Amino acid sequence: MPGKEVWIRTRERLRSFPQFMAACAEEASAYGRCVTTNAQGSQDLRKDMCAKEFQALKNCFTLNAKKAR
């Protein structure tokens, strides 16, 4: 059944998420700091305020996902 295989692969990818997060701790922290800093007080968090930090985190996740294959 092809549909069931999709869910199995999805679960496997989600199980890898904590490893990727640990490998990208520095990038995740930088992104979190950016979001926290920009969302404090009366400021509204707007799209692309932390785009640079998000892109660094995304690149780290992608790199580690490729290594895991």
Instruction: Please tell me whether residue 49 adopts helix, strand or coil conformation.
Output: coil
What pLDDT is stored for residue 25 in this prediction? 94
CB distance 50 to 38 below 8 Å = yes
What CA–CA distance (Å, rounded) separates 30 from 9? 30
The pTM assigned to this predicted structure is: 0.74
Mean predicted confidence (pLDDT) in 24-41: 92
To which residue do tokens 């904590």 refer?
18
Residue 58: pLDDT over 90: yes
CB distance 56 to 31 below 8 Å = yes
What pLDDT is stored for residue 2 in this prediction? 66
Percent of the chain residues past pLDDT 70, beyond the cut: 96
Q: How far is CA 10 from the centre of its chain?
A: 16
- Phi and psi at residue 41, in whole multiples of 5°? 65, -140
